[in-house]
Structure 1
Amino acid sequence: MQIKILLFFLLMLLLLVSLPSTAADSYRPAAFIFEEIGARSTGLGGATTALLDDVTSLYSNPAGLTGVDQYQTFFDLGNTHSRDLFGSFALAIPFQRRTTVAIAYSGLKLDDRYSIPVLGNDNNYHTKQYIKSEMQDIAEIGFGRIIGRGLSIGASARYTKTASTDPFANYDGLFGNIGIRYNSAVKGMVFAATVKNLGGKLKGSADPDIPISVSAGFSFGKLLSSINYANFAVEGIATEKHDLAVRAGAEYWWANYLGLRLGYDGLAREKTGNSYGGTFRGGISVNFREMLIDLAAVPARNGLRNSRLEASIRMVFGEGRRR
């Protein structure tokens, strides 16, 4: 039975990579604020509000940081377009028995190429290519704290700054995120909710608004045998300016060494401004004792060249603080 499940996930992952999907051609820098950073989160479709309880919880729900009982570091590298790159680093430090603090930095480099007609010396119009470069830097700090039996809260502050060769696309701003997480009496069942981008107004030449978003969902994990288990998560997310969207993801772990996952992100349509609906994606993980390697892919509908690829490494070290 376990082999059949493993083969099913492998087959679905291959189909996701090989077939065209509804993913958009590109992601814009302002939309990077909505991205759930980390290959595991990407592979799960961003449905991680209730699922994650490690250092990457800082990005999805800071209340999940209470699951960190050892020092954890996180490195992430990926692309949002054929010419765009982003990277992230995070560190989580547990304090006492109830509180964990985390800090993170993320950066996005975007080169946007476009063509305009230019009148030449021969009085004819010729196409000339231009490149608009943008850099987005995001610094974040947050904490998670246990306040009761199975109940945790968390909050984070995020500063983002964008510098562009376009004088009308330079801005910066400070945002706040809050979250709550509850481990229910049902074993493996977790409920959680977040409110993100509080104070979502960027200051600068463009002054774009970043809408507040509210997410709520649950996750369920079940041990399938003595060494194999599966997780499932689903959540709804709503913003000030868009309708309700759904995210869902599932993952299967074999012997705690190999993980396979599938996800659907219904918010992708809102983030990218296209009308093709949500995007499907997939991922794989390999666990080497204190180091976890995650890979994820979001196939683009216009070819592999424009697909999103992401790789993450999470490392654990030090003695546990809550044992």
Structure 2
Amino acid sequence: MKIMKTYNFKFQISDIIKKLAGAWESAFTGVKNGFSCFPHEIICGSTGVYLYGGKVYSSVFPARYHSFKAALRRITMNKKMNNILLVLAACILLPALSYAAFEPVAIGARPAAMGGAYTAIADDVYSVYYNPAGLSLVPRMEFTTQYSQLYTGLWDKSNLNYSFLGLAQPLMFKRDFGTVGLSVLNFTAGSLYRESTITLSYGRNFKIGGIRKLDVGFNVKSLTIGYGTDEYTYDSLNDDGITHSLQGGAARADSLFEKYGFSKSAVAIDIGVKYALFTNYKLGLMISNINEPGIAQDSTSDAKLPRMINLGFAHNGKGYLVSVDYMSRQVNKVSDSRISIAAEKLLPMGFGLRSSVALGSRELTNFAVGFGYQSSGLQIDYALEYPISGIKSTMGNHKVSLTLKFGPVMHVPEEAGALQVALEKEQKARAQTEVALAEKNKELEDARKEIMKLKGELEELLSRPVPVIPTPAEQKPAKAEKEAPAVKPAEPVFTQAGNIERQYLEEYNLYRKGASKLVFTERIGAIRQLVNKYKGKKIDVSSAEGEYKILLEEQKNQQRMYVDSLTYYRKMVAKGIDSKTQADLLKKIISRYEQFDIDVSEAKRELSNIK
């Protein structure tokens, strides 16, 4: 921690201030007044603020007057008068303290390059930090690690570091059960001070009108603050300005640490929401530390971690991304806010460029730039955060992060807002297709059963044996009519009718003898010709006509069967039988009914169309 004040030279009184911390329990351990650490050095500059965890804050020493006097006695004994005057001036002129532990810093090189404007963007493993609702968009397991050194190049060689490990795992067991995340964030200020945050996260998507629009998530955080056990927290001053080791011969911890220990733990809860407002536009909301846990070393002190609200807006375009984040909170009844504006340009081959500006209270003005590379299983990012106002003589914050993506894809990744809308439409269309497909499958199954039934009936018709028509009975000549007695005997006369009858009988009996050997077509053709030849000749052709009638009845019966067979065939075609089956059935129909002298030209025409 560094403290800056309105002087144009710098001096180091870390020994004095650190010893004063033993006397000013609530001022420099900060617990009884809601503070969590004590100053390390004073640097005279021109900003009137102090640095903690890489952030700029206003500060004050709410000293106890008797401790002040004891400290001054010790200063008188150990320092020159000019240093006493400088310390007094610093203590009198320092502004009011507005510090809170677990300060919001940009974690991850990509989000850092975008100024922390990630509330509405969050769609990867860093959702565990910025908005757990975004975990529902993580397509497969992701692991990330990040290291950053804050404000490198300060004159006092401060060693302020952040490290982060994060893991996200989608849960997909026949259906989507959301995504879980786990992260560990550590901040260290050398051996003087440390903060640790272990977070368990969960995020899930909820459909609105069958479309993925709403993402909801939450964090459960375990927070731990720790102080170093060194010469500045042991061997503290008593009210007379004398160390315990000089007074009693043994060093003792500061009374606050002696009573409450060197660490403090608490549990905090966050909730996050993301909503797809329009095509390519999203809103994000993150409320951190909802329960405002107490973080003071002294449990009787009313020092709480302030509730913080982040509201974000993001727009995904073709090859670019812009976002805006607004943060607000109350720290010791003092309003603290920040707004970040960021942009990202996607380049070919997986590269990307980012830049952002952050403005806020406490004279906060930061500029950040970064770049990264992303493939299907690997992402590497770098970011530089540079303070435009406040902290001087620094080379900024350098952050590098590595993300690995592995395992099967369980959620379809959301590359951009347009892709999300397309995905939603695809999912809706897929659901409709699945319903239609189920109905179609049912129809096909019904059709298959119907085809099998029709095919069975058709096969039964086609497999019926060809009827055997019995050979017609023999026809004998009709008896001659009794002639009236003639007056005179006459010569026998052979009439034309008698000759025709004899000729008919000869032809009929000839037909009858060979009928059993004729196919139906030949048989009905022969008897038809015989009937047509002798009908109306005034002879008895009843035998031929009877035979012809029997054959006609059988032909009509086969004609009905032919029509039924075509009907069955066409129903099967309507149900979707293949062309080979169609051709085979038509050939059987033609072969079966053509022998009965039936007109099968319609079946032949359909067969030719198939070929």
Q: TM-score range by the shorter chain?
A: 0.7 to 0.9
Deviation at 1:203, TM superposition (A): 3.7
Task: State the partner residue of 1:280.
Answer: 367
SS of corresponding position for 1:252? strand
Paired amino acid for 2:161: L
Deviation at 1:103, TM superposition (A): 0.3
* Cα deviation 1:124-151 (Å, max 9, x = unaligned): xxxxxxxx61121110011101112311
Q: Does the aligned pair in 2 maintain the 1:236–1:245 contact within 8 Å?
A: yes
Task: State the partner residue of 1:15.
Answer: none
* Cα deviation 1:51-107 (Å, max 9, x = unaligned): 120010110000011111200001010012441112110110001225000001111
Task: State the partner residue of 1:239.
Answer: 329
What is the aligned residue count?
268
Deviation at 1:32, TM superposition (A): 4.0
Greater CA drift, 42-51 or 158-167: 158-167
Query: Per residue, is there more strand in 1 or in 2?
Result: 1
Deviation at 1:174, TM superposition (A): 1.0
Q: Does 1:161 align with 2:253?
A: no
Query: Per residue, is there more helix in 1 or in 2?
Result: 2
Greater length-normalized contact order (CA 8 Å, ≥ 6 residues apart): 1
Tell me the distance in 2 between the aligned counterparts of 1:176 and 1:261.
Answer: 31
Task: State the partner residue of 2:166.
Answer: 90
Greater CA drift, 277-286 or 307-316: 277-286
Instruction: From the superposition, tell whether residues 220 and 321 of structure 1 become closer, same or farther in structure 2 (CA, over 3 Å).
Output: same
Q: TM-score, normalised by structure 1?
A: 0.77
SS of corresponding position for 1:69? coil
Q: Does 1:152 align with 2:223?
A: no
Q: Does the aligned pair in 2 maintain the 1:173–1:200 contact within 8 Å?
A: no
Instruction: From the superposition, tell whether residues 297 and 147 of structure 1 become closer, same or farther in structure 2 (CA, over 3 Å).
Output: same
Which segments of 5 or more consecutive residues in structure 1 lack a partner in the other structure?
A: 1-21, 112-131, 224-228, 270-274
Identity of counterpart residues, as a percentage? Answer: 21
Task: State the partner residue of 2:397.
Answer: 308
Q: Does the aligned pair in 2 maintain the 1:258–1:287 contact within 8 Å?
A: yes
Paired amino acid for 1:95: L
Q: Does the aligned pair in 2 maintain the 1:98–1:146 contact within 8 Å?
A: no
Tell me the distance in 2 between the aligned counterparts of 1:204 and 1:235.
Answer: 30
Q: Does the aligned pair in 2 maintain the 1:139–1:159 contact within 8 Å?
A: yes
Alignment of 1:178-197 (within 5 A): 178-186=271-279, 188-197=280-289
Which segments of 5 or more consecutive residues in structure 2 lack a partner in the other structure?
A: 1-46, 55-99, 153-158, 234-253, 257-261, 413-611
Q: Does the aligned pair in 2 maintain the 1:66–1:98 contact within 8 Å?
A: no
* Cα deviation 1:18-71 (Å, max 9, x = unaligned): xxxx9x874438554412311111111111000120010110000011111200
Task: State the partner residue of 1:50.
Answer: 120
Task: State the partner residue of 1:5.
Answer: none
Alignment of 1:122-161 (within 5 A): 133-148=192-207, 149-161=212-224
Alignment of 1:1-323 (within 5 A): 26-28=51-53, 30-82=100-152, 83-96=159-172, 97-111=176-190, 133-148=192-207, 149-165=212-228, 166=233, 170-186=263-279, 188-205=280-297, 208-223=303-318, 229-241=319-331, 242-267=335-360, 269=361, 275-300=362-387, 301-305=391-395, 307-323=396-412
Task: State the partner residue of 1:7.
Answer: none
Deviation at 1:292, TM superposition (A): 0.7
Tell me the distance in 2 between the aligned counterparts of 1:170 and 1:257.
Answer: 44
- Give the RMSD, CA atoms, in angstroms: 2.2
Runs (4+) of structure 1 exceeding 3 A deviation are 24-27, 29-33, 166-170
Tell me the distance in 1 between the aligned counterparts of 2:342 and 2:268.
Answer: 27
Q: Does the aligned pair in 1 maintain the 2:295–2:304 contact within 8 Å?
A: no
Task: State the partner residue of 1:16.
Answer: none
Q: Does the aligned pair in 2 maintain the 1:27–1:81 contact within 8 Å?
A: no
Greater CA drift, 207-216 or 150-159: 207-216
Q: Does the aligned pair in 2 maintain the 1:50–1:219 contact within 8 Å?
A: yes
Tell me the distance in 2 between the aligned counterparts of 1:322 and 1:221.
Answer: 19
Tell me the distance in 2 between the aligned counterparts of 1:28 and 1:253.
Answer: 32
Deviation at 1:204, TM superposition (A): 4.2
Tell me the distance in 1 between the aligned counterparts of 2:161 and 2:124.
Answer: 24
